[in-house]
Chains A and B, each alone.
Chain A
Amino acid sequence: MSERLGVTPAQTVGPYLHIGLPWPDGPYAVPEGTPGACWIRGQIVDGTGAPVVDALVESWQADPDGRFDHPDDPRGARPSTVPGFRGFARTETDGQGWYGLLTVKPGPLPTPEGETEAPHLTLSVFARGLLHRLVTRVYFPDEATANAADPVLRGVDPDRRDTLLASPAPDGYRFDIRLQGEHETVFFAV
């Protein structure tokens, strides 16, 4: 075991992240045409209510069976049964502050304490004016029972829990992100 090193500090992505970070297939956690795929879209607004037009959102999630194709999942890495499932999306906001990503709803997840986490995505938000990423979670409105038992949601101030809940939309779900002020989205320290 070697010496312990201090971590490299985070810095903002700045206003010009668009030359480096967006990928042509970024918004697609699953390929277009995947059965059961849904769009998760939302608007990001700042403390003045203005849309954040230069943000980048990244998502990470389990597949519909609640599995990860990752060696650190103690249940074993397992490629998804959904063809082309990547579990990850990267999407920049448009001129009105909207982002959108195409995915399939994840399955519930076991915890070390023997509880069950409700289906969720985890999001990172990067932007000019954010010196470190902001982390939040997206929960689903059609999972009331699972959400009520979710240990993370239960740890959040009940008055703020609904900021982590997507709402139904014609082609999926809507999840707005308010960086600051009234109805501020819950952000997490990971």
Chain B
Amino acid sequence: MTRDGYDTTHPLTLPSYRRDDVDAHPPLLSPGYKSTVIRAPHQPLVYLPQRLTEVTGPLLGEGRLGEFDHDLTRQHDGEPQGQRIIVHGRVLDGDGRAVPHTLVEIWQANAAGRYRHILDNWPAPLDPHFTGVGRTLTDERGRYEFITVQPGAYPWRNHDNAWRPAHIHFSLFGRAFTQRLVTQMYFPGDPLFFQDPVLNSVRDEQARQRLIARYDHATTRPEWALAYEFDIVLRGRDETPFEDEDDDE
């Protein structure tokens, strides 16, 4: 019997994504980060089998990108204040395979630590030449690159004299709903790490280190910009008959 041109008598074999280790992500309730106390669910998460809706996902990006979306220093008539930096890396899956042609979105504070957002009104200056939003697609080898300025740290009211370490927000889709990830990239050696409950909500030290970019002198451009490398790893797949197509190494 066929329906819509496919054989419905043939068993449906789906790819399957490995479930994350318990300590791979922060626990939803992390009381040091106060907002989690009234927003984290009390009930345990219910196991959801990965079926068609979960192993597919939006393949976005083509047609959504403007010429300067990847270069946050060229989105206005003048250049923003601050240290110019290149932030680049690869989007990989848990088996080290490139995730090609996937949308990467970033947003960040300006060099003074202020977001161009109506609710951010601490006394640091806005920069008329900086919006703080970028988008790009990875190439066929999973590589991405942004040009931006080093974001500043900023205060928040989570605890006494609380400061967020400098960070850049990243949003990634991968190729399946199971791979969707929103995270933050931090800078190496930041003295504010010790008191930041967001970074430290990741309990496993090795996992926490994966949120910290590497200073990358080889990618700096002399007399122009410093550089940081930040690879992002999305979930890998269990072995399936569909493993062949995107292995580029």
Whether A41 is near chain B, meaning CB under 8 Å from some CB there, is: no
> In the assembly, what is the distance between CA of A10 and CA of B41, in Å?
17
Does B233 contact A5, Cβ atoms closer than 8 Å?
yes
Does A19 contact B24, Cβ atoms closer than 8 Å?
no
Which residues of chain A from 96 to 131 have a CB within 8 Å of any chain B CB?
109-112, 114, 117, 120, 122, 124, 126-131
Does B28 contact A132, Cβ atoms closer than 8 Å?
yes
Whether B214 is near chain A, meaning CB under 8 Å from some CB there, is: no
Does B169 contact A17, Cβ atoms closer than 8 Å?
yes
Does A19 contact B107, Cβ atoms closer than 8 Å?
yes
CB distance from A95 to the nearest CB of B (A): 11
Does A190 contact B182, Cβ atoms closer than 8 Å?
no
Within 8 Å CB of A7, what residues of B?
20, 24-25, 94, 181, 210, 233-235
Instruction: Please classify the interface of chain A as helix (H, G, I), strand (E, B), loop, or mixed, using the class held by over half of its residues.
Output: loop
User: What is the size, in residues, of chain B's interface with A at 8 Å between Cβ atoms?
Assistant: 91
**Contacts between chains A and B (CB distance < 8 A), count:** 255
Given the known A-B contacts A5-B233, A189-B19, are A10 and B49 also in contact in the complex, defined by CB atoms under 8 Å? no
Does A5 contact B181, Cβ atoms closer than 8 Å?
no
Does B48 contact A75, Cβ atoms closer than 8 Å?
no
User: What is the size, in residues, of chain A's interface with B at 8 Å between Cβ atoms?
Assistant: 80
Does A4 contact B35, Cβ atoms closer than 8 Å?
no
Within 8 Å CB of B54, what residues of A?
122, 190
**A1-16 Cβ-contact flags toward B at 8 Å (1 or 0):** 1111111111111111
List 10 A–B pairs whose Cβ atoms lie within 8 Å, in order of A's numbering. Answer: A4-B95, A9-B202, A10-B183, A20-B169, A21-B107, A50-B38, A117-B53, A128-B35, A129-B33, A133-B182
